[in-house]
Chain A
């Protein structure tokens, strides 16, 4: 059974050889996370996959700039986030406004009373009641398991602000959903 190489080994080998062979392993390892992350940001699987391709290509071109190969995933997610922001700026405010309106409508449709246990089916409404910064932060924290410091670096936000987003986001969710019982989901 082949030994799975660690990220820092693959990064070092890719930089040293200049060959995409080792980088290909990293692509396969993180393509799901990056594509999911961009799908979540864009709401469009096709656009997300295009951005994901550009993310990995940009990361390849800048691989020599990474200071710590162990943090490759967080570094990659940051590139993906920047690609999304650049793409959004190019597309203009219309796309972002449409997305915001959709979420507002979803939030308005929320009929779950606090006594009901929050389940997976409630997740879209949970996300809809969050502000964009809170949503991005909580997804990175609870879906991707990133530390507060990693999230702060990725989003270029002060660490205290990240913690505040999580605290406030959790409070919003807590107000409308019951997080106490893990019976569902």
Chain B
């Protein structure tokens, strides 16, 4: 039987393990772990500072447009409410569509927004 085909016998397994284990003598820590932990803590701290700064700067930059957007939304909300009232009182009037197009657009946006948000998240 060719030696290359012979599986390693249990006795050889034990012998090889005993020999090869001498390759990995226990190494004293000698400050290695402390150095690594310090580097990791520094990264964690740095990441928090960077993220916090980014959020702050982003908030500052977005404040103006966000404020304007909130004003617009509140205006649209009032418009939507008036439109809904109008719709409720004149839904059987054929001309209501032309008069209440904004209501339809907003209704479509409200229906499609969850899906749009999910798409963006993906």
Contacts and interface: CB of A to CB of B under 8 A. Distances in A.
Interface string A7-48: 000000000001110011001100111011100100000000
Interface stretch (B40-48, B54-62, B72-80): B40-48
Best-buried of B8, B26, B41 by chain A (most CB within 10 Å): B8
Interface in B1-28: 3-8, 11-27
Consensus secondary structure, chain A interface: helix
Best-buried of B4, B22, B33 by chain A (most CB within 10 Å): B33
A23 B20 CA distance: 29
B68 interface: no
Contacts of B16: 138, 142, 170, 173, 179
A171 interface: yes
A20 B37 contact: yes
Interface in A126-179: 126, 138-139, 141-145, 166-168, 170-171, 173-175, 179
Contact of B40 (A60, A119, A138, A142): A60
Given A170-B12, A170-B16, A182-B18, A143 B37 contact: no
B29 interface: yes
Contact of B23 (A23, A40, A180): A40
B24 A23 contact: no
Given A20-B40, A170-B16, A35 B27 contact: yes
A69 B114 CA distance: 36
A52 interface: yes
Contact of A182 (B4, B6, B8, B15): B15
Interface size class of A (residues with CB under 8 A): 35 or more
B23 A31 contact: no
A138 B20 contact: yes
Contacts of A40: 23-24
Nearest to B4: A171
B18 A185 contact: yes
A182 B14 contact: yes
A139 B4 contact: no
A27 B5 CA distance: 40
A77 B32 CA distance: 17
A138 B24 CA distance: 13
A108 interface: no
Interface of A: 18-20, 23-24, 27-28, 31-33, 35-37, 40, 49, 52-53, 56-57, 60-61, 118-120, 123, 126, 138-139, 141-145, 166-168, 170-171, 173-175, 179-180, 182, 185
8 contacts: A20-B44, A56-B36, A57-B40, A142-B16, A143-B24, A168-B4, A171-B3, A179-B15
Given A27-B32, A35-B27, A36-B27, 8 more contacts: A27-B37, A31-B36, A53-B36, A57-B40, A139-B20, A143-B20, A171-B4, A174-B12
